[in-house]
């Protein structure tokens, strides 16, 4: 299958390892992968801030960057959810509404794509390692991604220790985390307490935004959890985990 990788701006700028892992995994799964070099940001910050004209401008750019692809695959539930909303961003009167609908229907969160479109089994890298999975809200509730990342981790040999609060929002919420930092970190603290209670040393998830927010809070608290995007665990990743940093 020919697919295009929508890298997402956070992965592109903050953690290229995830982009590299996404590319490697899709190729391993038998896909021909195009990575449009002109891509930047899907416009979600503007859309969620109520700036629809800006969101529409960036939406059109996404439509151009990803024209004529069989599928768009995204290593982020949040950005994949945004692509699914592009028709709403443009609105039914917009001349490119039909294109937006077509793209939305061909857009996949990557773990969902690897499991349900490719029936992919990753290399066995996880033997003897226990981790806990944080369901990001957009992946879980907008896209229904729940079992796919867990299946990939289990196929790779990891042991999952589930949090009681796996499905509760971590408090990142895009611009929410800097507009309401006190509430945002209070939510993080609850999530982190739930993660620590599992006894697993590593938290993983499908959205880098959540993980940076959680890792940053955990580091500030001087506590010991480490964080990796789920894709980093499915290919050998030399970069240190988030949260393993010096205080």
Partner 1 sequence: MSFQVQSQDFIARSKDALADAPLQSALGKLRTGLSVRRREAVAALPEFDALREEAAALRDYTLATLDQQLETFEAQVRARGGEVHWAPDAASARAIILELCQRYGAKKVLKGKSMVTEELELNEHLEAHGLRCVETDLGEYIVQLRRERPSHIVAPAIHLRKEDVAESFAAHHVGREHADRSTAEALMAEAREELRAHFLSAEVGITGANFAIAETGSTVIVTNEGNGDLTQSLPKVHIAVTGIEKVVPTLEDASTLLRVLARSATGQEASVYTTFSTGPRRPEDPDGPEAYHVVLVDNGRSAMLGTEFEAMLRCIRCGACLNHCPVYGQVGGHAYGSVYPGPMGAVLTPQLAGLDESVHLPTASTFCGACEAVCPVKIPLPSLLRRWRQRAHEARLDGDRARWLLRLWAFFAARPRLYHPLLSAATTVLGRLAGPGGTFRRLLGGKAWTESRNFPAPEGGSFLASLQGEEFAPTPRKAPSR
Q: Which of residues 141-180 bind partner 1 (CB under 8 A)?
A: 141-142, 155, 167-169, 171-180
Among 94, 129, 201, 244, binds partner 1 (CB under 8 A): 244
Among 49, 105, 147, 159, binds partner 1 (CB under 8 A): 49
Does 193 participate in binding partner 1 (rule CB under 8 A)? no
Q: Which is nearer to partner 1, 34 or 106 (CB)?
A: 34
The least CB distance from residue 47 to partner 1, in Å, is: 7
Among 34, 94, 146, 196, binds partner 1 (CB under 8 A): 34
Buried b (16+ CB within 10 A) or exposed e, 83-115: bbbbbebbeeebebbebbeebbebbbbbbbbbb
Q: Which is nearer to partner 1, 4 or 103 (CB)?
A: 4
Which residues have CB under 8 Å from 37's CB, separation 6+? none
CA distance 244 to 247: 9
Binding to partner 1 (CB under 8 A): which residues in 201-230?
212-213, 215-217, 219-220
Largest pairwise CA distance in the chain: 54
Q: Are 81 and 60 in contact (CB under 8 A)?
A: no
Q: Are 157 and 124 in contact (CB under 8 A)?
A: yes
**Residue 158: strand, helix, or coil:** coil
Does 16 participate in binding partner 1 (rule CB under 8 A)? yes
Among 31, 71, 72, 203, binds partner 1 (CB under 8 A): 31
Q: Which is nearer to partner 1, 201 or 216 (CB)?
A: 216
Counts for the chain of helices (H) and strands (E), in that order:
13, 8
The least CB distance from residue 60 to partner 1, in Å, is: 9
Looking at 55-63, 66-74, 98-106, 195-203, which segment touches partner 1 (CB under 8 A)? 55-63
Buried b (16+ CB within 10 A) or exposed e, 170-202: bbbbeebbeeeeeebbebbbebbebbbebebbb
Does 56 participate in binding partner 1 (rule CB under 8 A)? no
Tell me phi and psi for residue 108, to 5 degrees. -130, 140
Does 113 participate in binding partner 1 (rule CB under 8 A)? no
- Compute the Cα dihedral for 28, 2, 54, 206 and give only its sign: negative
Among 6, 7, 104, 115, binds partner 1 (CB under 8 A): 7
Binding to partner 1 (CB under 8 A): which residues in 59-88?
61, 88
Among 51, 94, 97, 101, binds partner 1 (CB under 8 A): 51
CA distance 238 to 42: 28
């Amino acid at each position: 299958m020919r697919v295009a990788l929508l890298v997402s701006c956070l992965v592109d700028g903050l953690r290229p390892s995830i982009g590299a892992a996404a590319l490697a995994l899709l190729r391993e799964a038998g896909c021909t992968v195009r990575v449009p070099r002109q891509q930047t940001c899907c416009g979600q910050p503007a859309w969620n801030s109520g700036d629809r004209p800006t969101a529409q401008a960036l939406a059109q750019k996404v439509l151009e960057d990803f024209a004529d692809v069989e599928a768009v695959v995204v290593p982020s539930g949040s950005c994949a959810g945004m692509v699914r909303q592009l028709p709403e961003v443009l609105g039914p009167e917009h001349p490119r509404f039909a294109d937006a609908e077509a793209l939305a229907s061909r857009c996949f969160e990557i773990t969902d794509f690897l499991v349900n479109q490719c029936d992919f089994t990753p290399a066995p890298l996880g033997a003897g390692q226990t981790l806990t999975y944080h369901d990001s809200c957009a992946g879980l509730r907008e896209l229904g991604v729940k079992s796919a990342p867990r299946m990939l981790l289990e196929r790779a040999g990891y042991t999952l220790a589930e949090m009681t609060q796996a499905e509760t929002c971590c408090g990142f919420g895009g611009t929410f985390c800097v507009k309401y930092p006190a509430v945002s970190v209070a939510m993080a603290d609850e999530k982190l307490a739930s993660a620590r209670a599992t006894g697993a040393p590593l938290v993983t998830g499908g959205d880098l935004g959540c993980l940076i927010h959680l890792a940053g809070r955990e580091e500030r608290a001087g506590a010991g959890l480490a964080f990796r995007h789920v894709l980093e665990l499915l290919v050998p990743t030399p970069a240190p985990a988030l949260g393993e940093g010096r205080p």
